[in-house]
Amino acid sequence: MKAGWEIKTFENVLEIKNGRNQKAVQKENGQYPIYGSAGNVMGWADDYICEAGTTIVGRKGTINNPIYTETKFWNVDTAFGLSPKEFLDSKFLHYFCISYDFSEHNRGTTIPSLVKTDLLQIKIPLPPLHEQKRLVTLLDEAFESIATAKANAQQNLKNAHALFESHLQDIFEKRGEGWEDKKLGKIADVQSGGTPLVSEKNYWSGETAWYSSGELNNIYTTDPQRKITQMGLDNSNAKLFPTGSLLIGMYDTAALKMSILDRDAGFNQAIAGVKPNEKIEVEFILHAINANKPRLLLERRGVRQKNLSLEKIKDIAIPLPNLNEQRAVISRIHDVMTETQRLEALYSRKIAALDELKKALLHRAFSGEL
């Protein structure tokens, strides 16, 4: 421990203020924000519990996301307010809370929960007040720079993806000679799948891969979560489609999610399967649909959830060149995709490195090395 520093427990250096139900104080024109465990403003109150400069730590639910407040506020009963005493700088406390893993004190089984008596025993390294303020100034400046760098990296990550989307749309808008619009149902066999009776054990845990639309996350499928038996295939609307078939999600948020089968497989009724043939490259179909995805999603219908029907999928117009041109387009898209993935990996690594830098700075600050 650095000379002049002490180890104190929370009960010696701060007060933990319990939150309370907000119904009695909640007012549409209230001047004090109402905070919950996630640090989100849940409304406004005409009274407050905690002073400005308090750190919010979730009591139940979100317990590892400390929030620093610049104003007086009311906290609900799922949030603790950590108010420092006069010899503890409020921002120093907040930075310590960011560095601390509150999940070590989790008492919940299904919902993460903290207990006040446990928190009061947490140990905090405490330098003199002037040293606390010096460290806060350093951390403020460093975190501001890191936040700027992270925001730039996140924007560049979005730009890399947008660049790919723009290139994809450009290919299909500036189509070459001989391209013709043809409905998907006219150029390929398109069918929906089915689900074997879930309660019938003899239909499940077999050898045949079976996919749900939530598993269509990559260009090619991977191992499915579930498999069915031949009996399940024979006694349901599920169909066995060959390797290389294109699966297209039809329902709700999975609408137009797509993957190409890396094995023979069945799939549920929320998916339309497109069988490959000698006139189409299914990956070309996938990219053609993705290029027009925003407009196609407007075709969804429904009240509680918006879906595409099998007929809507069959009616999708595909700008189709000959087979050689389809393959050439796929090759061009692969080139751009490879570069996009390189850029996305680069910026993702940078974002991760910036997060690690914050952790390292906090560690150095509270070990007296900053």
Q: Rounded distance, CA 365 to CA 248, Å?
A: 52
Contact between 238 and 232 under an 8 Å Cβ cutoff? The reply is yes
CA torsion sign for 82, 85, 89, 90 is positive
Question: For residue 217, what are the contacts with CB-CB under 8 A and spacing of at least 6?
Answer: 257, 259
Q: How sure is the predictor about 39, in pLDDT bands with cuts at 50, 70 and 90?
A: confident
Structure confidence at residue 40 (pLDDT):
85
Tokens of 292: 């027009």
Q: Helix, strand, coil proportions of the chain in percent (round to 5)?
A: 40, 20, 35
Q: Residue 8 above 80 pLDDT? A: yes
Q: Residue 125 above 90 pLDDT? A: yes
Q: Which amino acid is at 44?
A: W
pLDDT tens, position by position, 61-72: 999 999 999 999
Q: How sure is the predictor about 16, in pLDDT bands with cuts at 50, 70 and 90?
A: very high
CA distances from 235 to 89, 213, 310 (A): 69, 21, 21
Q: Rounded distance, CA 354 to CA 148, Å?
A: 10
Q: Residue 153 above 80 pLDDT? A: yes
Mean pLDDT rounded to a whole number for the chain: 95
**Which residue in this structure is represented by tokens 């295939």?**
233
Contact between 23 and 5 under an 8 Å Cβ cutoff? The reply is no
Tokens of 16: 């933990």
CB atoms within 10 A of CB 225: 10
Question: For residue 194, what are the contacts with CB-CB under 8 A and spacing of at least 6?
Answer: 236, 237, 238, 239, 266, 268, 269
- The predicted model scores a pTM of 0.75
